[in-house]
Structure 1
């Protein structure tokens, strides 16, 4: 799908379990259609069709992908119309309920009830195993952070934050509004590996700042300070969490001021490739020189170890997708396509009215 559309995740399988940000993404959406039902595929299918119909009319879109299968959708937002659609299993807020199970043959599903329950139990167990593998990786990663934390000059790091905030906001008048802060993920651990939508999310911005550094060098803290300054002035902010450790930040976008600043290190390492791109190197500015060389062996071993657990988590997510595909085959055989079409027509007619 091309056009005026941005892509992101609102939930991710992380070192701290499945971490959800759906409520934040829909916080200022006036009309929310909650698609309830047992088949995620039917719900995603409806949202894809609604997104396609909106794009044909030139309507701007936000497409929220499912981290366990990024080709599927968990939500769609039409910000210009103040309307959203979301998988009811993801969103805890209120909305207009749509029962997608009307498109399913319940008698046929009853025949496969034991198989369905067995697959769901296996899927949940595999997700728990993936989370545990990611958690072990994060614990090892903490050791990597400790090396760099002990070599940090925090006075210089704090001054870097002050200098950047002066650059971004000096002379910028407060809006007088209360800022809307939306929390999202630009990337996620998926069965296809770690993927991100940074290029898409930053496409229309005048300035992009690429933070270079190492584990524990304060990239997330720097981003939080910049976001706090923008919020104090009343500018709306997009806060993108780390898909590995969701309590850390990886990117801040302030669209009204035309800039973003993000952690541009592995596994989402980017380099300037267009006018307006600039590197902010924390390692160079605030870390003891030759730290990489002085601790090379320990750094190499910790990197190798934590990445092995990350890769193992991805392998487990691949098994989850295999199991989930089997589950969806059962639902697909019980789906009446004409009833899915009727649901789509019903929602589309309401939107057009």
Structure 2
């Protein structure tokens, strides 16, 4: 079987502030190489090259992307080797218990001959302070969007047939699990379906589900029971010993957007905006909860109210994204300042030194088996 790349988010800028499930995704990882020094994009480039290196060798590779920039990674994991490389200068990674217990610090230092001018510490401190303020303003706007979204949900919650939703959930669980179970404890890995980035909403849904035989696309309105259905499926699978990937909503982490059970070869996802997808191949099915469980005519009855709510919601989201974009501009300035210290030659040396460390660990692992 060909090796696979898996891209996802383990943290997000949400309406409830910054939320991370980073540690959940280090379950089973025995060795962590913690990169310190240099800018985030330098560490990201090193990790991407490491990922490609091990992918070419035939290993499945996971890339955890930055909550602020989908093009930047903050960790690479090679599950089969129980090994990971992480950006140790990211606060939520630095504070992860697994990193301190299984970690080895790797200092990224350029050659003395390649050093640029001294880092203007006061300028960086000022930029960081401004970035933090912009994030606070972004979270405030996202909080406003969530409150508006709650009003949007209430319209459909007031018109939902909860008995029908229970029937749908019971039928889905019976269909997916039947009488199957695993003779082990199921592991739950919490992640985010997408991210609220400077470019707006970004997700890796098609990447995450590409190799799965069955995909169920949940359609419906806010408040029509999609998250509740996903939670029931995840809980039932985990109780029967299956490993479950639980993908939370990037706006409201208390809500679920997707569940993947790879041991059963299935994914069930909320397939509505801003991550709207449709069945496109054999094995895809659509489940329309609005049609199945919401009182007919609800959309038409509340048309004017819904138009007002949706307009305000989009405005709040757009405002939040604009603050994230401004924060990203300042973060790019910080990266440029820090990145100026490193030449291509020093980057090559850092990469080769890191490869040597990883190879030494793997060779030692092989010798012990």
**TM-score band, normalised by the shorter chain?**
over 0.9
Say yes or no: does 1:74 pair with 2:74.
Answer: yes
The answer to whether the Cα contact below 8 Å between 1:35 and 1:99 also exists between their aligned partners in 2 is yes
**TM-fit CA distance, 1:110:** 4.7
Q: 1:331 aligns with which of 330, 333, 338?
A: 338
Question: Structure 2: 5+ residue runs without aligned partners?
Answer: 361-369
Segment drifting more, 335-344 vs 237-246: 335-344
- Contact 1:104 / 1:334 at 8 angstroms: preserved in 2? no
Distance in structure 1 (CA, Å) of the matches to 2:123 and 2:111:
17
Q: Distance in 2 between matches of 1:342 and 1:101?
A: 10
Give 1:296 shift. 0.6
Cα distance in 1 between the residues matched to 2:124 and 2:179 = 60
Indicate whether 1:257 and 2:290 are aligned. no
For 1:255-294, list aligned pairs within 5 A.
255-294=262-301
- 2:156 matches 1:152: no
C-alpha distance in 2 between matches for 1:328 and 1:140: 36
Instruction: Give 5+ residue unaligned stretches, structure 1.
Output: none
* Residue of structure 2 in register with 1:131 after alignment: 139
1:196 to 191, 203, 227: 203
> Aligned to 1:143, which of 138, 143, 151?
151
TM-score, structure 1 normalization: 0.95
**Counterpart selection for 2:107 from 72, 87, 100:** 100
State whether residues 109 and 331 of structure 1, in contact with CA within 8 Å, keep that contact through their aligned partners in structure 2.
no
1:318 has 2:317 as partner: no
Equivalent residue, structure 2, for 1:59: 59
Once the 2 structures are TM-superposed, how far is the Cα of residue 14 of structure 1 from its aligned partner?
A: 0.8
Residues 237 and 252 of structure 1 are in contact (CA less than 8 Å); yes or no, is this contact kept in structure 2?
Answer: yes
Cα 1:246–1:207, aligned 2, differ >3 Å: closer, same or farther? same
Q: Distance in 1 between the 2:213 and 2:115 partners?
A: 56
- What is the deviation of 1:51? 1.1
2:177 to 156, 161, 169: 169
d(CA) in 2 for partners of 1:18 and 1:104?
36
Q: Is the 8 A contact 2:38 2:339 kept in 1?
A: no
Aligned residues of 2:119 and 2:338 also touching (Cα < 8 A): no
Match of 2:5 in 1: 5
Alpha-carbon distance, 1:99 to partner:
4.0
Secondary structure, aligned partner of 1:267: coil
Contact kept, 8 Å, 1:179 with 1:234, in 2: the verdict is yes
Three-state SS of the structure 1 residue aligned to 2:269 is strand
| Aligned CA distance change for structure 1 residues 34 and 249 (closer, same or farther; 3 Å) | same
Residue 212 (structure 1) aligns with: 219
How big is each residue's C-alpha offset from its partner over 1:313-332, in whole Å with a ceiling of 9 and x where there is no partner?
11111111111111111111
The answer on 1:239 being equivalent to 2:227 is: no
Other-structure match for 2:355: 348
TM superposition shift of 1:111 = 4.8
- TM-score normalised to structure 2 length: 0.91
User: In the TM superposition, what is the alpha-carbon distance from 1:84 to its structure 2 partner?
Assistant: 0.9
CA contact (8 A) 2:33 2:106 kept: no
Q: Structure 2 vs 1, CA of residues 136 and 104 (structure 1 numbering), >3 Å: closer, same or farther?
A: farther
Partner SS state of residue 84, structure 2: strand
Show the counterpart of 2:234: 227
| Equivalent residue, structure 2, for 1:179 | 186
Q: Deviations over 1:189-218 (max 9, x none)?
A: 111221111111001111100111111112
1:281 to partner: Cα distance: 1.2
Cα distance in 2, alignment partners of residues 275 and 14 from structure 1: 35
How many residues matched?
351
